[in-house]
Amino acid sequence: MGWDAKDVALLKKLWGDGHSAGQIASRLGYSRNAVSAKLKRMGQKRGRKPPTANPRIVSVPKRKAALLAACARPADKVVSPRKPAATQPKEFTKRQLYAMLVDAVRNTG
């Protein structure tokens, strides 16, 4: 596997446009996990909501200590100023997606 410029370009384009990781992943041929991880590595910018997932861990026994510590976290602030979105994301047609891909390839490749 390799994230070519075109992959990243399209990924960024779609993601920045407001598309879901699943849709992008499906189109790109990667799993949503890969897309999500890739986005994170890049410096994912989208001010997503507050950390829904707690600092969890993967290895059960090992992370158990960390998990316990995390659980013991006090907490929190509430609230958050919300701004109404002026534009709403719209689904792209094959034609549009293809156009973007072509453009991305032409520009990067």
CB 10 within 8 A of CB 101: yes
| Least separation in angstroms between CB 60 and DNA | 7
**Residue 46 binding DNA, by CB under 7 A:** yes
**Residue 80 binding DNA, by CB under 7 A:** no
| Least separation in angstroms between CB 32 and DNA | 6
| Cβ-based neighbour number of residue 57 at 10 Å | 14
For 12-37, b where at least 16 C-beta lie within 10 A, e where not — what string? bbbbeeebebebbbebbebeeebbbe
23: amino acid identity, one letter: Q
Q: Which of 9, 11, 59, 82 binds DNA (CB under 7 A)?
A: 59
Residues that bind DNA (CB under 7 A): 1-3, 19-23, 30-34, 36-41, 44, 46, 48-49, 51-59, 62-63, 66
